[in-house]
Amino acid sequence: MAEQLPPGQPIGAGRGRGYAMAAGRDVSGGLEAVAVALWPPGETPPPFQYSPDSVPGADGAIDPTEVTFPGCPCRAHSCTARSCPCLRHGERCRVLQSAAPLFECNAMCRCGDGCQNRVVQRGLQVRLEVFKTAKKGWGVRALEAIAEGTFVCEYAGEVLGFAEARRRIRAQTAQDSNYIIAVREHLHSGQVMETFVDPTYIGNVGRFLNHSCEPNLVMVPVRVDSMVPKLALFAATDISAGEELCYDYSGRFRNLPLTEGEQKASEEGNVLRKPCFCGSQTCAAFLPWDGSLFPAADTHSESSP
């Protein structure tokens, strides 16, 4: 049970895993540019350490804060696609329609802080609320209208190597919530880049987002200072104030359909999966499940009663 703070005392977000939250208080503890509300009174999520950005995981395999990209030479207040090597996508409004890698200007760039190619790195800019749902535990809803294409928030947490991500997944019980996300990017060379983020112990408001088979958010890997991407969530459609925010945990939204092999693995793994309560007309009945973090031999043992 989370420790209750005296009235008027700020939340100790970012100061350890045991801080308390109360309705009406800022879930981020002042670490975001915009406060994150909490509802209802008397209900608090399990404690975790709030961090607006991803951090190196406990395994120390990857450091997402390391600056390895060179900066652009642009001296203008705001970069343009014609001259800036960082700006690969053209206009930002096309981010949801493009499949090419997205790079923002970084700490080494000469352009100003007001550059149009600095969006995700500015962090949360819209008003959100963490709230208790009827069937899905905690969720997130918009407290203001959000236009399609708007950056909403990052899915931040510990960035892990494959071995640690698999260890944590295998240590979970059927009753545990799984926050670990695996993002795979397929390169033209045939290589696959994998990013594993776990906000179980250290994370931001993104950890409370629920799955939907018809989501209103889409996740886009965005690189700023290094090849380790920020997992940015953008509005996939116009969102009304009060609407719950959801994304597709499988990453299939606006992407390719399941292959025959993936579909078979998905069906065989149903015993390991949890029911989906998104309520959409195209609901798949189960939450997405990634069997790649389980060795083939372990899948049967995990499935056994």
Catalytic sites, residue numbers:
155, 249
Q: Are 25 and 129 in contact (CB under 8 A)?
A: no
In angstroms, the CA 201 to CA 14 distance is: 11
Q: Which two tokens stand for residue 183?
A: 């993002």
- Residue 38, CA atoms < 13 Å, CB-side half-sphere: 18
Contact between 79 and 105 (Cβ < 8 Å): yes
Collapsing DSSP to helix, strand or coil, 162 comes out as helix
In degrees rounded to 5, what are phi and psi of residue 171?
A: -85, -10
Largest CA distance in the chain: 63
Q: Are strands 181-186 and 192-198 parallel, antiparallel or unpaired?
A: antiparallel
- What is the distance between the terminal CA atoms of the chain, rounded to a whole angstrom? 30
Which pair of tokens denotes residue 150? 């708007």
